[in-house]
């Protein structure tokens, strides 16, 4: 966002307009959040593929149903990610066998030419992490969501989220050391 971009509507105003069913507010919500929601879905799945687009569609349909009843007790992004997370879990349950293959696939955006050396190794180690570890690391450090909000998305306690973050970082370090010796 630059100084020339129109100022964003404060979230509280946007929530009020969404609850009222304002179509312009819906467009604004889509423009503001769809990219991040899609990235969250793709990284949760472990690949950037058609599945992410299908789940994004289901997520937005469910959001349209849920937003008029949204109480504003979390951020809009958290609310949306909580719905997206359930859709991803549902997809993984239904496609359990296929999901084992998906988990081994590269993380979102890996269709692009790979950076050389340590960066590629790190990306691979991140992609190889258990989905619940990768998910929590990306929410915390890429989406910059707070622990309490992560807890809401994943339906865990704050303590469980902190614990999972610590285990995720440890698993990532271990993976880098075992596979690449550093």
Partner 1 sequence: MDTETTEKIVARIKSAVEPAREVDDRDLRNTFAARLKTVAARPEVVPIEFNGRRLEVRRGGTLLGAAMKNGVRLMHVCGARTLCATCRVVVESGEDNLTQMSGAEKFSLRWHLSISPKTRLACQARVNGPVEVESVFPLCGDLPNG
Contact residues: partner 1, CB under 8 A? 18-23, 26-27, 30-31, 34-36, 38-39, 43, 53, 56-57, 60-69, 71, 82-83, 86, 90, 107-109, 112, 119, 122-123, 126, 137-138, 141-142, 169, 172-173, 176-177, 182
CA distance 79 to 129: 25
Closer CB to partner 1, 36 or 102, in the complex: 36
**In the complex, least distance from residue 62 CB atom to partner 1, rounded to whole angstroms:** 8
Closest CB 15 distance from partner 1, rounded Å: 12
Q: Which is nearer to partner 1, 63 or 147 (CB)?
A: 63
Quick one: DSSP state of residue 145? Answer: -
Q: Which is nearer to partner 1, 92 or 107 (CB)?
A: 107
Distance CA 102, CA 134 (A): 13
Contact assessment for residue 154 and residue 135, using Cβ atoms and an 8 Å cutoff:
yes
Half-sphere exposure (Cβ direction) of 18: Cα atoms closer than 13 Å: 23
**Residue 18: CB minimum distance to partner 1, A:** 7
Q: How far is the CB of 97 from partner 1 (least distance, A)?
A: 19
Nearer to partner 1, 101 or 115 (CB): 115
How far, in Å, are 9, 20, 32 from residue 17 at the CA level? 10, 5, 15
Q: DSSP assignment, residue 103?
A: H
Q: Which residues contact 77 (CB under 8 A, 6 or more apart)?
A: 33, 36, 37, 143, 145
What minimum distance in Å lies between the beta carbon of 29 and partner 1? 8
């Amino acid at each position: 966002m630059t100084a020339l971009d129109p100022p964003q509507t404060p979230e509280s105003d946007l929530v009020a307009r969404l609850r009222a069913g304002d179509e312009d507010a819906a467009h604004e919500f889509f423009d503001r959040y769809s990219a991040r929601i899609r990235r969250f879905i793709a990284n949760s799945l472990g690949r950037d593929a058609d599945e992410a687009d299908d789940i994004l569609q289901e997520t937005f349909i469910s959001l349209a149903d849920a937003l008029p009843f949204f109480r504003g007790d979390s951020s809009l992004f958290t609310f949306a990610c909580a719905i997206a997370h359930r859709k991803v879990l549902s997809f993984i349950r239904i496609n359990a066998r296929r999901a084992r293959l998906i988990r081994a696939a590269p993380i979102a955006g890996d269709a692009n030419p790979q950076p050389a050396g340590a960066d590629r190794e790190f990306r691979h180690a991140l992609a190889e992490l258990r989905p619940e570890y990768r998910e929590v690391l990306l929410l915390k450090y890429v989406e910059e969501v707070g622990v309490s909000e992560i807890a809401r998305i994943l339906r865990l306690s704050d303590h469980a989220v902190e614990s999972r973050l610590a285990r995720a970082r440890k698993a990532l370090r271990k993976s880098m050391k075992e596979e690449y010796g550093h």
